[in-house]
Every structure is written in structure tokens, then in C-alpha cells.
Amino acid sequence: AQKVTQAQTEISVVEKEDVTLDCVYETRDTTYYLFWYKQPPSGELVFLIRRNSFDEQNEISGRYSWNFQKSTSSFNFTITASQVVDSAVYFCALSSGNTGKLIFGQGTTLQVKP
Amino acid sequence: GAVVSQHPSRVICKSGTSVKIECRSLDFQATTMFWYRQFPKQSLMLMATSNEGSKATYEQGVEKDKFLINHASLTLSTLTVTSAHPEDSSFYICSAFRDTSYNEQFFGPGTRLTVL
């Protein structure tokens, strides 16, 4: 079975704090892809990152960074020096094999207060 | 990134009517598109896989006779919600799958359906 778990339902931080959003996944496939999406109030999904199962290298993009650890089946997302504009719902997703089908986690609502 | 459009962005209809939602891949040909549904404050759930030139594949629990999917061309997939009821009110999002070797896909902006 394939599953994505985002245990944090809601997180509230004050601007400039660092925040980490957790994502744990389950799959029996050896080839899979992991994603993070941001969903602002408008509803449109904003793609943040895609990582395949063979690339465990961590990635940094500006204030965003991702930590992929196959040993713990986790793909955590950290926002450094958070800003009010980061307030949104963040989804972690899994796609196994080459089907393209995405299984989404429950989502984490991040509120960044000024 | 590639552009995927959806039309309409918002629709309000009366119970019992049918509603058609279009998903267009504007700058690449997509043999496969996906339809997702998102209820308020919930996650996205895959409804069906739309394949150009063949029948759609529906996920377990999704009524294929209620949610008709047509993928008539490499750039257009349509989802028709037949005999809509208030419980069908949801946010419907499509995605176009571009690259199977890199699992690259692009989401449309979504359609918010409200059934009165």
C-alpha cells in the first residue's frame, strides 16, 4: 500500500522563525517520486519540488530546503526565516513507478503571523 | 513551466443539472491527464486517469456513470458531473502528465463547483 502522512495538521509561527513540515511516506516500489506543493487560499497548487527515489541529495532553494531520508521514509520541508506570504496549506505527495498518479498527504496548514 | 487551463473556474448550478469542466494542456500534448477532487479543508483525492483515445480509469469508490470523462484530443480532457447534487460540491483539479521518465506533470488552477 502507498501512503503519505503529514502528522502536523496546523502550525503557527511568528515571522522570521524557521519551520519544518514533516512528511512520511510508504511504498513498496523501488522507483518513486516525492513532491511538495503549496496551496494558497486561491486553491491553485504551486509546485515546489520533485525528488526521485534514487536521489537522496538534499536540496536548497532560497529559504526553502528539503531533507530526503530513505532510511526513515521521510521527506521533510524546512522554511527558513518564514514570512507572512508563506502562509498556506502545504501538501506532500508520492507517485510510485511511472503511472503519474499522485497520493497526497493530509496537508499542513502553516500560519505565519507578523 | 507548462500551462494547464481549466474552464470554468467557478460554477454554481441547481441540483439535478449536469456540469462540464474542461482541462486543456496549452503548450504540450498530454496523452494522460488526471482528475482530482478536494473537499473543503481536506486533501486532494485522485478520481480518475484520463487517457487520450481510450476509456478513463476510475479510482475505487468513484462512480464512472456520474463522473464522465472524455479525453478526445491530446490537449483536452473533460469531466462531466451528471445529475449533480449538493454533496458533489467540491474543488476539482486536473493535471496533465508530460514526461513518464521524469514524472513531470502540471496542474490546472481548479474549478470550484457549488451545487444548490
What pLDDT, in 10s, does the model give residues A54-105? 988 888 999 999 999 999 999 999 999 999 999 999 999 999 877 889 999 9
Pairs across A and B, CB distance < 8 A: 56
Q: Which of A1, A47, A110, A93 is nearest to B60 (CA)?
A: A1
Residue B84, φ and ψ in degrees, nearest 5: -65, 145
Averaged pLDDT, A41-64: 92
pLDDT exceeds 70 at position B100 = no
Mutation target for A interface from B43, B51, B93, B113: give the one with most A CBs within 10 A.
Answer: B43
- pLDDT at position A24, please? 98
pLDDT exceeds 90 at position A1 = no
Averaged pLDDT, B83-89: 96
- pLDDT at position B52, please? 85
As a whole number, the mean pLDDT across chain A is 95
Cell 449536469 -> residue: B18
- pLDDT at position B41, please? 92
* Contact residues on chain A for B42, CB-CB shorter than 8 A: 106-107
pLDDT exceeds 90 at position B114 = yes
